Structures are given as C-alpha cells and as structure tokens.
Structure 1
Amino acid sequence: MESLKSFGVIAQFLGSCTLLYSFLPQIYKLFKNKNSDGMNLQYWSILTIGLTCIAINLAINNVNYFIQGTQWLNIVLALIVLVLSVKYRKQPQN
C-alpha cells in the first residue's frame, strides 16, 4: 500500500507540473500578440470557476498543502488567461 501511495504522490506532482505548464504557451501568446481572437471567454470563465470550487473543497477537507498549492496556482494562471483574453479582445466595429 505504501508503494501505491508513493506512486500517487509522483503522479500528482507530474500531473500538476504538466497542467501548470499547459497555461504558459497561451499566456505567452496573449502577451506577445496582444490579440485574443478565437479565445472562448465562456470556457475560461467556467474553467476558472470549476478550479476554484475544487480548491475550496480541498481546503475544507484539509488536503495536503502541496496539492492545494498547485490547485490555487492553476486558478491564478487560468485567471490570467481570462483577464488577458478580455483585455486583448477586439471591440466590435460599429
């Protein structure tokens, strides 16, 4: 059972790092191009809300601080994408 728990910690670490890394190219692209054409604001809003709900549940249930920390970092990065998407959204032409 202990080796399975160790495997779970390793899987959590790798999964968290992979998920955190997945936000970086999108953030870089938004900063570089200053254009959010094609970005689905509804998706990023729902994702951010969902991640926040999960993080709140993790905190309520006193889950390991490392897991909570990576979840809150995911929220911050998703929120950055959302804010940049709104900021760089082209206004409709009249």
Structure 2
Amino acid sequence: MCLSAFKMIHEYFLLDSITRQTVRDSNNTIVERCDEVWVFGPVSDGVLEEIRLAKKCNKPIRYFAIVNSRDIKEIPKEDVTFEEGLERFRDEL
C-alpha cells in the first residue's frame, strides 16, 4: 500500500531546499514500488502524473474524499475532483 506522503515530507522539512525534480523522482519511485496507489482530494497535475504512472505499472488505484476533516471515505472515480483546469483529464483516472 502506498500514500504519496513523500512530497509533504520534503516540502515541510526541507523547505524547498531540494529540487522539484528530486521530489518527482522520489514520488515516482514510491509509486513503482507500492502495491496500490491511494488518491486523496482534488487531483493536481503532479498527482495526475502519479496516476498515469500507476496505470502504466498496472497498480490498483483507489480514490478517497476527506469529509469534515476527520472522516475519509472511498469514492468512485466519477466523484473525484480536480484542481482548476485539469477536469479534461478525467478519462485518465
């Protein structure tokens, strides 16, 4: 199982002292090694790339919504939200 917390850790603890490409490479390695990918909240361009990689690697992908900041529930792909301008990629989920 895999959650892409690596990006959060890098941004929070290293405060942009490493390149974004290093973060992307690290996230891609996590996606390649995990059993499945979990997607939380709106899909950003970076998350969309991770979804594409997971599909290429034949990894199961699960989508979740965070409800009331305390409850997390699994949702169908049709209910996934996107950041502005990315809705056109819905068919790639």
TM range (shorter): 0.3 to 0.5
Q: Which gives a bigger RCO, structure 1 or 2 (Cα 8 Å, sep 6+)?
A: 1
Larger Rg: 1
> TM-score, normalising length from structure 2?
0.32
